[in-house]
Structure 1
Amino acid sequence: MFSWLGRTALACLAPVRRYVRMNKDEEADDALFWSQDNGEHSAGGCAVRSCRDIGEHSAGEFSFAVVQANERIEDHSQVETGPMGTFVGVYDGHGGPEAARFIADHLFLHFIRIARESGTVSEDIIRNAFSATEDGFLALVRRTRQLKPSMATVGSCCLVGVIWRGTLYVANLGDSRAVIGCLSRSNSIIAEQLTRDHNASMEEVRHELRSLHPDDPQIVVMKHGVWRIKGIIQISRSIGDAYLKRPEIKVDSSFPRFQLSEPLRRSVLSAEPAVYSRVLNPQDKFVIFASDGLWEQLTNQQAVEIVSKFPRPGIARRLVRSALDVAAKKREMRYSDLKKLEKGIRRFFHDDITVIVVFIDHGSMLLEPNTSVPELSVRAFIDASGISEFSALEGLVTATGTSSV
């Protein structure tokens, strides 16, 4: 009887162990995780773990790189390619890696499922995929927070790009950013930001929050020189952060930094993405999708000029290296000194950085499937690619919704 109960309990826990690991389990899993990465490249010793220096997608090529600053990497990301389209995701986690990992495991699959059920790709399809992912993660938090109370405080920014039949869709929660490089009339490259940063440091975001919460004078407060929502968090939109969205989900008293001054009456964070779409034109040359770790060091224009001036292979690594050079100079250090810092310590100098550069070759953007494009599913740190589910969308039409940023 006991052994049957034990087996049953283990079977019930198995699906959540990927996101809820404790102590030694976490350390063992991290060791396995790193050993699976065959794509490590040396950026002067500063562990740039690049999944792809160059790869092919439905409308051109892409380059992909990640660098770690935190003790545990909290960024997750993916590129999904197929004959008809491309899906890019950058998930900048906070409070732990569980939310970002959950998004990487579920968001694209929700997108495929909902698009198939609807028979189209549109802005609303992407919104619904975000909503399903948020609901799934909050359900996971409810099931597991007795085992791991910190799950209530875990969240992630979420930046997604979809190229489908010549149309680019971008959806965003948080302060990761998508920037497109376009040719001007004088044939120079110019940067156009496609997303809005959902961060309380932005005056328009503070105004939005105060308008939504007129009865809460503490909705945004200055703490340690930084504007924060409820004095705790900077971003106003995310997946997760259940304790700031669901009044019934309380934070254990053993986590004092997440304690609210008064009980939560209603959600103060949103999981509603801002979605933007545009029909790509010949002046649109590439899109940079990156976590805020890159944009803290480089301006939009600096980033697009780097991409335009250098060869495509390894361009994502070059952007990361440029950001690290700037981070070192801000502290009056040499890059050679910065690269010697251990993970965790390095976080005081720069954040985890994820960069995906997607080049747009207009001759490749066909309305019919481009069978020469491989169906690949590429995830950060795991250089070996699997088969993407994108082929499931063959035959679907495109429907453009109402853009909002």
Structure 2
Amino acid sequence: MLSWLERIVSACWRPVGRYARMNKDNDDGSCGGGNDQLVWYRDLDKHSCGEFSFAVVQANVVIEDHSQVETGRDGTFIGVYDGHGGPEASRFVSEHLFRHLNKLAKENGSITEEILSAAFSATEDGFLTLVRRSLGLKPLIAAIGSCCLVGVIWNGTLYIANVGDSRAVIGCLSKSNKIVAEQLTSDHNACMEEVRDELRSSHPDDSHIVVMKNGAWRIKGIIQVSRSIGDAYLKQPEFSIDSSFPRFHLAEPIRRPVLSAEPSLSSRPLQPNDKFVIFASDGLWEHMTNQEAVEIVYKYPRTGIARRLLTTALKEAGRKREMRYDELKKMEKGVRRHYHDDITVIVIFVDREMKTATRDNNMCVPELSIRGFIDTVAPSNFNFTQTT
């Protein structure tokens, strides 16, 4: 087995062509699925303090999940953006949020929860400006939004910011040497009683702030997530949608924002028993528990582990409809949405030995910007002066 130092050297000397080509699922199925043309993956790559595995499956006619991993000398950035109503908001977040964060980090020489919050605010403001400019030509852009889950590893600390119901789960070794799941994010979804209570408390004069519809709790009878980027018509009266679009028309104009773009924030110094973090859109968690997910990651080899999680979820989605995955994966995009959502999975391994080797030997880390599913890899500029 290669030492950590040898693995770092290998990563740095690998040809650039290694990063220029994306993979579609056409292997022999060793990771639980094969020949699913709607699955994209990066089985294993390096980041600033370990390795990561990345996989995405498309279900919608136009994929609404956008995602990215930025690897750099100073840290690692992970973004999962689960769009709804269309791809415009999640695509906008993918193109702008990291830029805002990187600019603020360079100005301050560090990462903080406040900087993460400011990057979310700037992204929200930018998208609402786009909506305002586009409203005349495309009224329904006001009903497009995106959940947004971001993780940053910098200076030995994991920072998390989240709006919506994508989820980050860390796998930790217990004293008895068993892997244990710890959820790092809150689900901003009306299915959660605490979210409904929060909405009712902040809108005491609105008896229809949360309504049970089609078997699920929905805000104003329309949407399940309580926080998002976009969804402008539920945030400002100027973006209200008229009755010619009944699905998004509100009987009465909103008096104050119904949804919020304010992220839940947390930071956690990484400890030796913290082994990996799973970042995934809600499509994964619909089909497995946190504990089931971390046990899969802990049990199987790293290479292809994100794809293994993905195909495990797809098999479960098929099983619920009495269908084998071999049948499910033959279905076209659009039809697949009746069985499962677009799903993004990113597994970030935390290797203290690798971080130490990189620092002590002044070794290079691949500085890459990888965008999930849309098949782009470019140099990353996630570098700023650390304050130590």
Structure 1: tracts of 5 or more residues without a match: 1-35, 398-405
User: Could you tell me how far 1:62 is from its partner in structure 2?
Assistant: 0.4
**Counterpart pick for 1:207 among 197, 204, 210:** 197
Aligned twin of 1:336? 326
Q: 2:161 corresponds to which letter in structure 1? A: A
SS at match of 1:121: coil
User: Percent sequence identity over matched residues?
Assistant: 66
Kept in 1: contact 2:25–2:41 (CA 8 A): no
1:70 is matched with which residue: 60, 64, 67?
Answer: 60
Amino acid in structure 1 at the alignment position of 2:72: G
Instruction: Indicate yes or no: 2:49 matched with 1:59.
Output: yes
1:41 aligns with 2:25: yes
Query: What's the secondary structure of 2:95's corresponding residue?
Result: helix
Which residue of structure 2 lines up, in the alignment, with residue 302 of structure 1? 292
356-365 vs 169-178, which deviates more? 356-365
Give the whole-Å Cα distance in 1 for the aligned partners of 2:110 and 2:226: 30
Q: Which residue of 223, 248, 252 maps to 1:258? A: 248
| Pair 383,343 (structure 1): closer, same or farther in 2 beyond 3 Å | closer
Which digits, 9 at most, give the CA deviation of each residue in 1:69-103, with x for residues without a partner?
11110000000001110000000000000000000
Q: Counterparts of 2:328 and 2:166 in 1: how far apart (Å)?
A: 24
The residue that corresponds to 2:378 in the other structure is 386
Q: Distance in 2 between matches of 1:297 and 1:280?
A: 28
* Cα distance change on mapping 1:77 and 1:55 into 2, 3 Å: same
Structure 1 residue 357, shift from structure 2 partner: 0.3
Q: Give the 3-state SS of the residue equivalent to 2:369 in structure 1.
A: strand
Query: In the alignment, is the contact (CA less than 8 A) between 2:59 and 2:337 conserved in 1?
Result: yes
Alignment CA distance shift 1:245-1:294 (3 Å): same
Other structure's SS at 1:286 match: strand
**1:107 correspondence with 2:97:** yes
* Distance (whole Å) between structure 2 residues aligned to residue 231 and residue 177 of structure 1: 24
Give per-residue Cα distances to partners, 1:164-194, cap 9 Å, x unaligned: 0100001110000000000011111110000
Residue 70 to residue 288, structure 1, CA distance change in 2 (3 Å): same
Instruction: Give yes or no for contact 2:121–2:261 (8 Å, CA) kept in 1.
Output: yes
| Cα distance, 1:332 vs structure 2 | 1.4
1:139 aligns with 2:129: yes
In the aligned structure 2, how far is the partner of 1:71 from the partner of 1:112?
32
Let me know the Cα RMSD of the aligned residues.
Answer: 1.6
1:219 aligns with 2:194: no
Q: Equivalents in 2 of 1:382, 1:153: separation in Å?
A: 24
The answer to whether the 8 A contact 2:22-2:42 is kept is: no
Residues 154, 241 of structure 1: 8 Å contact kept: yes
> 8 Å contact 2:106–2:385 — kept in the other structure?
no
TM-score (normalised: structure 2): 0.90
Out of 281-290 and 37-46, give the one that drifted further: 37-46
Give the C-alpha shift of residue 336 in structure 1: 1.5
Partner Cα distance (1:336, 1:119) in 2 = 50
How many Å separate the matches in 2 of 1:128 and 1:171? 11
> How far off is 1:394 after superposition?
2.6
Q: Tell me which residue corresponds to 1:395.
A: 386
Please state whether the residue corresponding to 1:390 is helix, strand or coil.
coil
The residue type paired with residue 395 of structure 1 is: Q
Aligned partner of residue 267 in structure 2, secondary structure: strand
Asked if 1:271 is matched to 2:261, the reply is yes
Residues in 1 aligned to 2:245 and 2:363: alpha-carbon distance in whole angstroms: 52
Q: Note the C-alpha offset of 1:228.
A: 0.3
Contact 1:51 1:378 in 2 (8 A): no
1:219-271 deviation digits (Å, cap 9, x = unpaired)? 10111111000000000000000000011112143321001121111100000
Alignment of 1:346-357 (within 5 A): 346-357=336-347
Displacement of 1:335 after TM fit? Answer: 1.4
CA distance in 2 between partners of 1:252 and 1:161 (Å): 37
Q: Distance in 2 between matches of 1:384 and 1:235?
A: 29
CA distance in 2, matches of 1:192, 1:242: 33
**CA 1:158–1:248 in 2, change beyond 3 Å: closer, same or farther?**
same
Partner residue in 2 for 1:87? 77
- Name the CA distance, whole Å, in 2 between partners of 1:368 and 1:315: 27
**Counterpart amino acid of residue 234 in structure 1:** Q
Give the conservation status (yes or no) of the 8 Å contact 1:102–1:137: yes
Say which is worse superposed, 278-287 or 371-380, in terms of deviation.
371-380
Distance 1:57 1:282 in 2: 18
Which runs of structure 2 are paired with 1:221-240 in the superposition (5 Å)?
A: 221-240=211-230
**Could you say what secondary structure the match of 2:158 adopts?**
strand
Q: Contact (CA 8 Å) 1:48, 1:65: kept in 2 or not?
A: no
CA gap of 1:368–1:129, structure 2 versus 1, over 3 A, is: farther
The number of residues matched between the two structures is 361
Matched, 1:179 2:169: yes
- Supply the distance in 1 between the matched residues of 2:380 and 2:242 (Cα, whole angstroms): 40
Amino acid at match of 2:330: K
For residues 92 and 384 of structure 1, do their structure 2 counterparts lie closer, same or farther at Cα, with a shift above 3 Å needed? closer
- For 1:339 and 1:50, the matched residues in 2 are separated by 13
Match of 1:375 in 2: 367
Deviates more, 1:126-135 or 1:378-387: 378-387
* 1:129 corresponds to which of 110, 119, 122: 119
| 1: CA distance, partners of 2:228 / 2:114 | 18
Q: Which runs of 5+ in 2 are unaligned?
A: 1-19, 27-32
Q: Could you tell me how far 1:38 is from its partner in structure 2? A: 3.5
TM-score by length of structure 1 reads 0.86
Contact 1:47 1:68 in 2 (8 A): no
Q: C-alpha offsets along residues 93-121 of structure 1, whole Å, 9 cap, x if unaligned?
A: 00000000000000001001112222321
Which letter does structure 2 place at the counterpart of 1:390? F
